[in-house]
Amino acid sequence: MNIKNKRISDETLKMLYKAIVSIENEEECEAILEDLCTVTEIQAMAQRLEVAKMLRESKPYTEIVDTTRASSTTVSRVSRCLNYGNGGYHMILNRIEGK
């Protein structure tokens, strides 16, 4: 991963990844996200996931913006990740959609 920050060590990032992998159910996920993130950060992540789902369904940008209230910049950024990213959106959407 290319998340580099002079203030955060690789070990600290690995601890975060291990923490996420250790989540066993939705209740645990909700608890840790509410402790780690602000409400706005959680809402932004949920919004991006909804945008990714709609982009995979080939919904037009205008419909995505109207439905999700995401900015066109956010829709464009999520689209770029879907097409050229690490495959994270596709992996998670496939899992939650049961594919």
Domains of the chain: 38-99 (1.10.1270.10)
Average pLDDT on 64-92 reads: 97
- Rounded-to-integer distance, Cα 60 and Cα 15, Å: 38
**What angle do the packed helices 88-96 and 72-84 form, to 10 degrees?**
90
Strand partners, 25: none
Which tens digits make up the pLDDT trace of 30-70?
Answer: 999 999 999 999 999 999 999 999 999 999 999 999 999 99
| Residue owning tokens 């996420």 | 20
58 vs 20: CA distance, rounded Å: 30
* Confidence (pLDDT) at 5: 61
- Distance separating alpha carbons of residues 95 and 61, to the nearest angstrom: 24
* Cβ 53 vs Cβ 93: under 8 Å: yes
Residue 3, pLDDT score: 62
Percent of the chain with pLDDT over 90: 88
SS3 8: strand
69 within 8 A of 82, measured Cβ to Cβ: no
